Chains A and B, each alone.
Chain A
Amino acid sequence: MASAAPAFLSAFPGLFQPERGFSFQRSTVRYGRLAPWVPVVGLEIHAQISSNSKLFSGSQVQFAAPPNSLVSFFDASLPGTLPVLNRRCVEAAVMTGLALNCSINKKSLFDRKHYFYADLPAGYQITQQRVPIAVNGSLSYSLCIDSKMSQMVTKTVRIKQIQLEQDSGKSLHDDTRSQTLVDLNRAGVGLMEVVMEPDMCCGEEAAAAVRELQLILQTLGSSQAVMAEGQLRVDANVSVHHPGEPYGVRTEVKNINSIRFLAKAIDYEIQRQIEELENGGTILNETRAFDSKLGCTVPMRDKEGKQDYRFMPEPNLPPLILYDAKSLPANMNHQQVINIDWIHERLPDLPSVKRKKLVEQYGILPEHSFTLLNEEGLAEFFESVVKQTQMKPKKVIGWILKDLLSYLKQHSLTVKESPVSSFVLADLLNLLEKKEISSTAAKQVLAELWKGEGKTPLEIVKEQKLELLQDQKELEQICQAVIDGHKNEVMAIKAGNPKVLNKLIGLVQKKTQGRSNPVLVKQLLEKKLSG
């Protein structure tokens, strides 16, 4: 963190102390040089709707296609074209609204938001400014209190509204030839704008809230919400004020490409504003871009002065009417009717519900359920292993989260790409559970399995001679031999130094080439020495 801090902050060493900053992110108040400050963070999130065609036209929605190949006459804003609303986009917005505990407006309206930019061919964007499709919801998310991830706290952020709107095209700036290249493939794709109230106080909270929203959207299927592909874009509104005083001037931070950068950008901006104000400066109500290389925010080139969007009702679209079980019209074509209750009944289990079920069903810790759901496919993998093994879920979870997950991370693999399948892992854990191998041996086998050479766990065990010695008599003989050969150690133990026993256990392990059960060995040695 310190390496990313810009030069001027080194002039104030007392202010920017990474360790202090980390712990203070937990509390609402930041301690500046002169006075306490309360940072206020609000988010505007644009999620691209997962649909086959665009919001108001029948051209395809697809990432990375030849430029201007997925563009209809309407998307190019040729005169004489009209918008036709895509039913799937409305359903996606209703699902999302319901999942975020919003009131769904049975009547919502479309408006035009006017501004000039090369990637907005019409000169306006069709959005829902006056009466959006959903309002007044909430999103609950969890944070770790400490760095050990052992204590979690639940927070809530209010959702002001969710609105349907069009995406713009893409501009590629060619500074060398002083021109902009415009690709309209993205123009007209459906977006859900989720507006969050400024209930957050730091980068970490914002990051956790966005992560949870991402999981919810992916669970619903209303958006794939992959930030790297631009399917989820987040703008942060940041301001600071003294406790008890009115909110300060806010800046808008854009160009944030990942959840990690979101936290960084917000924290940088909070620090920058505190610095500026404590030095007697003022904060401009401006738009700033986050520079991920430098780790700081800079004023944006094109956004000078306050914009006046000249909102007006979209004259080509009547109000959007939604129905529920009570208000369902009797004789309307059902393809033209969207029933909120019908959608509500079919909502899948949200992440918070899934986590609760995992904890209740398998007796794992809440933190474990978070990690399981945080990795695509990991929860399913875990449940699959549990089904195929006699080992208790509480023990299985350790193998999933510590061993499997760390291998996946080391090799940058997804759960789907894992060379070890749930069947194979369950097989291995069964060997361990039946005490045919020790846990150290099991880890060795897993390392071998990771090579993905198609051998079964049992084959590897036999190959590397990792089976535990089952012959009690042979084990006893070896223990006796070790005792007989190390009279000094025996005396030390009998004199009251039990730790020396571990040395003897180690010697037995060596003699058996690691094929003895250390617990059993300890028992045998203790029995012999007490006699």
Chain B
Amino acid sequence: MRALLLGAWLRAGRGLPRAPGSGRRHREHRGHSGHSEHSEHRPQAPLRQKVSVEVLQHLEHLALVDFRDAEGVERLQKAIQFADQLHEVNTDGVEPMDSVLEDRCLYLREDDVTEGNCTKELLENAREKVEEYFVAPPGNIPLPKLEEQETFLQGSQ
């Protein structure tokens, strides 16, 4: 329910929905004073925090992505700014929702063996194999350190 409301609001560009029930308003604590609540065209929320080089390197390491150039980083900043709009909503006393499936029944399967024995099929996709084993590089190869990287991040220093 809550997700649908927010979605509708984002599409229609209407004013902020008031959260049900009382609760401390967080808006004033987040540096959004002077920001109009009922504007039709929403201006970009002010950038709360520039994405630092350390954070970018950490993200690249964790998710194995490569931001590659200034445009990539800029796109990331814009994405974060867009998502920050969620902070406009007062969610005091509201349970977070992770999925619209939350009230569906989780199906329980009987403990029977119904799958497997398809080694050949599974190995068809493998680039390299050794006697029905998949082949992978030896352990996790650590990413090169920042000084050795040839990505955009180095240039931004």
Give me the interface of A with B, judged by CB distance under 8 Å: 51-53, 57-60, 66-74, 76, 84-90, 109, 114, 116-118, 171-175, 178-184, 301-302, 304, 308, 310, 313, 315, 317-321, 335-336, 338
Contact = CB atoms under 8 A, between A and B. Distances in A.
Contact of B138 (A178, A313, A335, A338): A178
Contact of A180 (B101, B112, B131, B135): B135
Nearest to A303: B140
A180 B137 contact: yes
Contact of B111 (A74, A87, A181, A304): A87
Contact of B109 (A86, A179, A302): A86
Given A319-B106, A335-B108, A335-B110, A68 B138 contact: no
Nearest to B128: A179
A71 B138 contact: no
B82 to A, nearest CB: 19
A181 B129 CA distance: 8
Contact of B99 (A51, A85, A89, A313): A313
Contact of A85 (B64, B106, B112): B106
Given A71-B122, A318-B101, A182 B133 contact: yes
A76 B122 contact: yes
Contacts of A181: 130, 133-136
B134 A184 contact: yes
A335 B99 CA distance: 25
A58 B134 contact: no
Given A310-B62, A336-B105, A180 B139 contact: yes
A66 B132 CA distance: 8
A59 B116 contact: yes
B122 A68 contact: yes
Contacts of A59: 113, 115-116
Interface string B90-115: 00000000110111111111111111
B142 interface: yes
Contact of B136 (A182, A301, A304, A321): A182
Contacts of A173: 138-139
B78 interface: no
Given A59-B113, A71-B118, A318-B106, 6 more contacts: A69-B117, A69-B132, A76-B122, A109-B98, A302-B140, A338-B108
A181 B138 CA distance: 9
B123 interface: yes
Contact of B98 (A88, A313, A336): A313
Given A59-B116, A60-B116, A69-B116, A90 B133 contact: no
Chain A contact residues, majority secondary structure: loop
Interface residues of B, number: 39
B97 to A, nearest CB: 9
Leading 10 A-B pairs by shortest Cβ distance: A58-B114, A118-B136, A313-B98, A88-B111, A72-B115, A59-B116, A181-B133, A87-B108, A58-B115, A182-B134
Contacts of B156: none
Contacts of B108: 85-87, 90, 335-336, 338
Nearest to B136: A118
A318 B138 contact: no
Nearest to A310: B62
A90 B101 CA distance: 20
B58 interface: yes
Contacts of B114: 53, 58
Nearest to A170: B133
B131 A67 contact: yes
Contact of A117 (B123, B135, B140): B140
Contacts of B104: 318
Contacts of A301: 139
B119 interface: yes
Residue picked from B64, B109, B123, B131, most chain A C-beta under 10 Å: B109
A175 B112 contact: no
Given A52-B112, A68-B119, A336 B99 contact: no
Nearest to A69: B119
Contact of B64 (A74, A116, A172, A180): A116
A84 B64 CA distance: 29
A223 to B, nearest CB: 14
Nearest to B106: A318
B135 A182 contact: yes
A318 B99 contact: yes
